[in-house]
Amino acid sequence: MNYVYLSGPIGGLTLEEATAWRYYVQEMLPSGIIALSPLRSSKVLEHSGVDDKSINRSDHFDTMRSSVVLVNLLKAKQVSIGTVGEMAWAWDHHIPVVCAMEKDNIHEHPMLNDWITYRAATLDEAILLTVAIINPNDYLK
């Protein structure tokens, strides 16, 4: 089993805005590749008194156990500090980072650009790159 961590902005978004693209990626991945969303337990976590430390630990754990981190920064409304942190963790541990990000994105920065293994103009292109990294002989559904 290979895991793909789905990193991207959450703050300032509705639950629908933060989860829709993640559900889409999950549906597009072939069997044998599992998407890990930081929001996968949002309904349970909402009522469990989750604090900043537990969110950070959970996101770190998921990032570290992933084969690839797929980042969606398309149309970001504000800088996502959590996403930037996840990208740095991945880079530091030699985990490939596939990032969907348009030109002139608010996240445009030399350090962040260095952490990106593959940059994609669309989410679909990012999914294709992710699958190719994990299993170059596999195809999308």
* Distance (Å, whole) CA 100 – CA 70: 8
Per the domain annotation, does 141 fall within a domain?
no
Task: Read off the pTM.
Answer: 0.90
Q: Domain range spanning residue 121?
A: 2-134
Per the domain annotation, does 63 fall within a domain?
yes
Q: How many structural domains are present in the chain?
A: 1
**Rounded average pLDDT over 22-35:** 95
CATH code for the domain in which residue 59 is found:
3.40.50.450
Per the domain annotation, does 83 fall within a domain?
yes
* Higher per-residue pLDDT: 56 or 109: 109
Cβ contact 110:138 at 8 Å: no
Per the domain annotation, does 81 fall within a domain?
yes
Give the tens place of pLDDT for each residue, 32-58: 999 999 987 655 556 566 677 878 898
Residue 79 confidence (pLDDT): 93
Per the domain annotation, does 74 fall within a domain?
yes
Per the domain annotation, does 140 fall within a domain?
no
Q: What number of other Cβ atoms are within 10 A of residue 96's Cβ?
A: 18
Q: What are phi and psi of 18, to 5 degrees?
A: -80, -25
Per the domain annotation, does 139 fall within a domain?
no
Closest C-alpha to 101, from 9, 39, 5: 9
CA distances from 118 to 7, 16, 85, 91, 101 (A): 14, 27, 17, 12, 10
**Whether the predicted pLDDT of 134 surpasses 90:** yes
Residue 135 confidence (pLDDT): 87
